[in-house]
Amino acid sequence: MFPNWLRAPSGDGNIGDDPFFVRIPDPGLDGVWGTDDDDYGDLRLTAGSLAINAGDPSGFLQPGVTDLDGHARVLCGRVDMGAYEFGIGSYDCDGQLDLIDWGYLQACFTGTDAGAYADGCEVFDFEYDLDVDLIDFAGFQDAIDR
Ligand SMILES: [Ca+2]
Ligand SMILES: [Ca+2]
Ligand SMILES: [Ca+2]
Ligand SMILES: [Ca+2]
């Protein structure tokens, strides 16, 4: 259940709807932040979140900027709201990792030190070092297993 204390943000650029976080932060049974039972949640987005591709594109045009997971800050065409970019590993940006994405991953493979990859292949650059190599294959495998 999306808590009311998250529903009424003020200021430009904020939204009051459920952002579909993986896990909503919770102050615990005591209802007080800053105590031992706090759960800071998991602020990564899930499929269907209206925060996906809803960020302000003007702030993230510099190359090399990442989200908190170290993935490219812009995936699937536009930056997301929040600290984590949604869609790593999913070339078709549907939030699912499957055989379709696997096919694109192989097409995007550049190998280490090969330089830039084609547009769209940044979804496979799990540690954002501007190549798609065996490390990224491992990242894709880990993401499928999650
Ligand atoms: Ca608490
Ligand atoms: Ca995005
Ligand atoms: Ca997909
Ligand atoms: Ca990489």
Q: How far is the CA of 40 from the centre of ligand 3 (A)?
A: 28
Of residues 16 and 122, which shows the higher confidence score? 122
Q: How far is the CA of 101 from the centre of ligand 3 (A)?
A: 5
**pLDDT tens for residues 97-115?**
999 999 999 999 988 766 6
Do the Cβ atoms of 38 and 27 come closer than 8 Å?
yes
Q: What is the model's pLDDT at position 104?
A: 96
Give Cα separations from 114 to 26, 63, 91, 106, 133 (angstroms): 45, 17, 20, 14, 9
Q: How far is the CA of 71 from the centre of ligand 2 (A)?
A: 11
- Compute the average pLDDT of residues 76-90: 94
pTM confidence score = 0.84
Q: Is 52 exposed, middle or buried (0-12, 13-18, 19+ CB in 10 A)?
A: buried
Token output for 50 = 């209206």
* Closest listed ligand to the CA of 139: 4
**pLDDT tens for residues 14-54?**
778 889 999 999 999 999 999 999 999 999 999 999 999 99
